Amino acid sequence: MTNTITLDQLVKQVEQWSIDKDLHRGNSFTQYAKSSEEMGEVAAALCRNDTDELRDGIGDVVVTLIILAQQNGMTLYECLEQAYEEIKDRKGVMSKDGSFIKEQDIK
């Protein structure tokens, strides 16, 4: 039998870990810098085609964003929900390089 943990449970564990380490009261600009550093690790993993490091890097980015939201009285859920509400009906096209271009930005 596999013990499956939900995304919500993982987020709660990260939030508690942040509280245990007193990061939830840390400086948001420092936390933002940490998020940026982790994004650099994601880029490096992509360049190296290293799937394990990419998975770890994406996870680290999510951890830093959970804490950044927490430091500002928000939850990952409400941030993601707001972002989804903004994009769900967005129209546009895929560029040759695979980027999505919003309809309003097409010239």
Is the pLDDT reported for residue 69 higher than 90? yes
For 70-79, the pLDDT digits (tens) are 999 999 999 9
In whole angstroms, what is the distance from residue 17 CA to residue 74 CA?
Answer: 16
What contacts 24+ positions apart, CB below 8 Å, involve 6-9? 8/77
> In the prediction, which pLDDT does 2 show?
60
Q: Where are the beta strands (DSSP E) in 1-107?
A: 92-94, 100-102
Q: Where are the domains of the chain?
A: 10-88
What is the third-level CATH fold of 10-88?
A: Helix Hairpins (1.10.287)
Is the pLDDT reported for residue 90 higher than 70? yes
pLDDT confidence band for 101 (50 / 70 / 90)? confident
For residue 73, is it left (φ>0), alpha (ψ between -120 and 50) or beta? Answer: left
